[in-house]
Structure 1
Amino acid sequence: MKNLSPSTKLILSFLLMLGFTTSANSQILKKLGKKAEKAAERAIERRVEKEAQEKTDEVLDSILEPGKKGKKKKSPIPNDKSPSDKESSDPNSEGNSQKPDVSPTSESSEPKSIKVYSKFDFVPGDKLLFFDDFSNDFIGDFPAKWNTNGGGEVVTVNDLPARWLLMSQGFSTYYIPDVPNLPEEYTIEFDILVDGIDRQTSSTADLKVELSDSNEFRTGNKYVSASIPLCQYTPVGIRIKAKKTGAGSPKNINNTVKADIREAILNSPHISIAVNKERYRLWVNEKKYIDVPRAIVPESQFKALKFNVNSLKDGKESVFISNIKVAEGGLDLRRTLMSEGKVSTNGILFDSGSANIQPQSMGIIRQISQVLQQDASINLKIVGHTDADGGDEINMKLSKARAEAVMNVLISIYNASPERLSAEGMGESTPVGDNNTADGKAQNRRVEFIKQ
């Protein structure tokens, strides 16, 4: 190595940083004459230039086309924190979305995600019945607004502000939030996070979501349930069951709907459920998998929402849920806007501290775009509102930016004319809920559409 020129030494050092071993190269170079050494130097220079170009291209790809060649991240695991560690970490405080930023999918570019969701037709209810992000619970405790016959605890994941309910598995272990008796029309939303799920996970592993006429720790006499598969080695499908009358009745439903949601499960999917009288629909992220027109007996009134986890390996595989939202409504916002001239919704969600729209909000914006398409004489003012977390000036700017973000989606995705739209921010100045509670904050974070 002593006879090598400085440029050769620099090149070999660079190769070492890229993972190449210098020992083999030095042995070869010692055996070469000066001409061979120069030839080797040129070859090494070309190799380094090629490697550097490839690395540069990868970096540029990650910036310009995020996720194109990205590898999946390993599912995060909960931190070890003391139950007394009561942090001020409300993931839905102003500027935070109802979806924590964990395990992003390979398609994580915001514009691309928004476009993917452009045909998403889920519209969340507009009268909040229940919301829990566990922000008021101590880490390590079971959440105060829930009941169970098993065990579980509130945890944080990878130092992120969002909190999750870690659920124990068991065929007869239920997790029941304090949801009031459910009306005829309502929506349910929540996020799932998994850890340790891989190709060795059981084909029967699932998270069951049940609507029941009983709030006891058992399956009700009348119910509708969807079992979301966690298996990775084969697409299991989503199982839907509905018991409407006695056992064995032809009116009952027991079917597995074809669905390959393996990648979604590893990347913190958002689940949306809509019940409109007898009709039951379920989406995983932007895709609708279940749409049963007569899943529910008309006269039935469900009293409970239940969660149940099955067939996981203790100590290795875990399932978490968070941001559980139940809201009455989920009706056609177009009719309300046309008849009343104004509609308000807290179903348009944004990323933490920004005006980036969560893609699952696109069902609402899509309906608003259809109003504009139907009546060319209508102009709309879009008004953003925040909760009271943060300063007045910051919230005013943020609410304006979010209203403008909604306006820009109407223009860029749904081809609305810019001349027909305007945006305004009201900050925290006109609350409709109590800013001291998670429910109230969720109500205050809203967007209004007003006919002009």
Structure 2
Amino acid sequence: MKKIISLLFALFIMVNIAFAQIINPKETAKRKANDRVNNGIDRNIDKGLDKIEEGIGNIFKKKDKKAKKSKDDEEIEEEETSTAKSKSKKKSAADDDETDAEEDSEVTQTKKKTSGGNDESITQTPKKTSMKAYSKFDFIPGEKVVAVEDFSQDAVGDFPAKWNTNASGEIVNVDGSTFKWLQLSANGIFYPEFVSELPDNFTLEFDMMISEDFDNNGSGLKVIFPELSQRNAAYDQHFNGEARTNFDLHPLPAGDGVSLAWVIDNKNTKILDNSVSISWKPQESNHISIWRQKNRVRLYINETKVWDLPRAFITDVKYSLLFATYTNGGLPYLTNLRVAVGAPDTRSKLITEGKLVTRGILFDVNSDKLKPESYGVLKEIGTVLKENPTVKVKIIGHTDSDGDDSKNLDLSKRRAAAVKNALTTDFGIPNTQMETDGKGESEPSEPNTTPQGKANNRRVEFIKL
């Protein structure tokens, strides 16, 4: 028996030696590599099935975020994290100039019915607008707000009560927007009856957008400053009349377009007839700013100065305001109209008089986030403070009376702090040169009983210390 066992043992050793001698190392490595690949595929399949199972399970319960990870999961996660960090560094380097970005959430405008009975919608795509993008924006609003229109008093579907027209239009809601919008009909004249005679120094601002099907051929919005005595005349489609200044806005859905300017004297003689290209944010709200200083007028679309005409208004002629449309397809929309009067004099009021009040520093609704169109005012104040480094100021925020008293007080303080931070960050004014405070709604400059009264109470004061 022992001999048989010894013989079998010897045969086992010989077979193994022989087998070992005929094994090819390359084949062994290849086999092991294949095994690894197959094992990896098996693991990935298992993970895929796990994710499917988790997805099904998540319909009924939340995933346990504290679940332990396998070693393979941790290795893969480390690789993905490393790749993400690398991409993040590259993106960060490309985005260094993007500061104080303001994001507009996606907005969909849905009307009930157009005059033709068809449903229509407008979509605004998200965009970022930075303060630095407005670095050449020198627009400064007038000192006192005399007219505000956000259509808050009007019912959706109605034509606004404070306007008149020879055509039609209606108020619509925009999802995600704090304002109602006036949808203007395709061809007509629109009278804001709450705006009468405009003085030698005024600013006009409003927001405008166009529908996605806005026609490329001669469609747009006219902003007309007619002679006051001619305002209520029966203007025809070409708006023939004496002493008027016209700006035409022809935006295109693709994001460009053209603007035209006409200047007609009081003898119906054409002094100027010209056009320039414009940049437009498609399917978004675009901010239009117009600034008249006696004979001179400037027009801005968002941060870009489109027109700067030194002889656009005639001395001693009284002007007013009209809007008009002419479209071959699609419709324009406007809201948030604001008229302010008075020539701002930042340097004199702050240094000589010791107090500057501005309504031109604007914020998002119920927020301390500065709107980028505040850049022109902030730049002007920053320049004065930089040129007078020994002058110290207190920045005081004020709100209107809407909302809770304590929340308004907190908001006014945060807004003053935001102004100080912007002057330091963007214009290099030392922190030690400025103090901040907020008064909320406690010190109104006028009654909070009208839209323009509330607009004037939303202000920022600079007090020389």
Q: Which residue of 2 aligns with 1:11?
A: 48
Question: What is the match of residue 26 of structure 1?
Answer: none
Matches within 5 A, 1:272-351: 272-302=289-319, 304-313=320-329, 317-351=330-364
Change (3 A) 1:52 1:407: closer
Distance change >3 Å, CA 15–CA 300, structure 1 → 2: farther
What is the 5 A alignment of 1:166-177?
A: 166-170=183-187, 172-177=188-193
Once the 2 structures are TM-superposed, how far is the Cα of residue 426 of structure 1 from its aligned partner? 0.5
RMSD of the alignment, in Å? 3.5
Supply the AA of the counterpart residue of 2:217. Answer: S
The aligned counterpart of 2:223 is 209
How far does residue 333 in structure 1 lie from its aligned partner after superposition? 2.0
Is 1:182 equivalent to 2:203 in the alignment?
Answer: no
Q: TM-score, normalised by structure 2?
A: 0.74
For residues 83 and 289 of structure 2, the distance between their equivalents in structure 1, rounded to whole angstroms, comes to 44
Counterpart position of 2:456: 443
Displacement of 1:365 in angstroms is 1.2
- Deviation string, structure 1 residues 236-277 (Cα, Å, up to 9, x no partner): 421011111434x3x6111002x3313x24321111000111
The one-letter amino acid paired with 2:302 is N
Structure 2 match to 1:115: 132
Indicate if the aligned counterparts of 1:75 and 1:196 stay in contact, CA closer than 8 A.
Answer: no
Deviations 1:301-346 (CA, angstroms, capped at 9, x unpaired): 10x2111122242xxx232101100111242322222221101111
Residues 404-442 of structure 1, C-alpha deviations (whole Å, 9 max, x = no match) = 111111111010111110111001000122223222111
- Tell me the TM-score normalized by structure 1: 0.76
Residue 150 of structure 2 corresponds to: 133
- Is this contact kept in 2: 1:75–1:266, CA < 8 A? no
**With CA pairs under 8 Å and 6+ residues apart, which has the higher RCO, 1 or 2?**
1
Deviation digits for residues 80-117 of structure 1 (CA, Å, limit 9, x no counterpart): 39xxxxxxxxxxxxxxxxxxx96442x34xxxx11222
Query: CA offset at residue 177 of structure 1?
Result: 4.1
Larger Rg: 2
Percent identical pairs in the alignment equals: 35
SS in 1 for 2:189: coil
Determine which of 255, 272, 279 is the counterpart of 1:261: 279
Flag the 1:236–1:159 CA change in 2: closer, same or farther, 3 A: closer
Distance 1:407 1:290, change over 3 A: same
Query: Could you say if the C-alpha distance between residues 74 and 372 of structure 1 is closer, same or farther in structure 2, counting changes exceeding 3 Å?
Result: closer
Secondary structure at the counterpart of residue 416 of structure 1: coil
Alignment counterpart, residue 76 of structure 1, candidates 108, 112, 121: 108
Residue of structure 2 in register with 1:244 after alignment: 265
Give, in whole Å, the separation in 1 of the partners of 2:200 and 2:252: 33
For residues 417 and 104 of structure 2, the distance between their equivalents in structure 1, rounded to whole angstroms, comes to 33
For 2:107 and 2:404, the matched residues in 1 are separated by 35
Distance 1:347 1:51 in 2: 45
Contact 2:278 2:306 in 1 (8 A): no
In the comparison of the two structures, how many residue pairs are matched? 386
CA distance in structure 1 between the partners assigned to 2:201 and 2:460 by the alignment = 21
Which ranges of structure 1 fall in alignment gaps of 5 or more residues? 18-41, 82-100
Shift of the 354–75 alpha-carbon distance from structure 1 to 2, 3 Å rule, reads closer
State the SS of the aligned residue for 1:174: strand
Note the 1:34-113 alignment, pairs <5 A.
76-80=108-112, 103-105=125-127, 107-108=128-129, 113=130
Query: 1:386 and 2:399 equivalent?
Result: yes
* Partner Cα distance (1:102, 1:342) in 2: 40
1:16, 1:282 → 2: CA distance? Answer: 60
Asked if the contact 1:382–1:407 (Cα under 8 Å) also holds between the matched residues in 2, the reply is yes
Deviates more, 1:275-284 or 1:264-273: 264-273
Compared CA separation, residues 221 and 356, structure 1 to 2 (3 A): same
Whether the 8 Å CA contact 2:148–2:336 is kept in 1: the answer is yes
CA contact (8 A) 2:171 2:182 kept: yes
Query: CA shift at 1:122, angstroms?
Result: 0.5
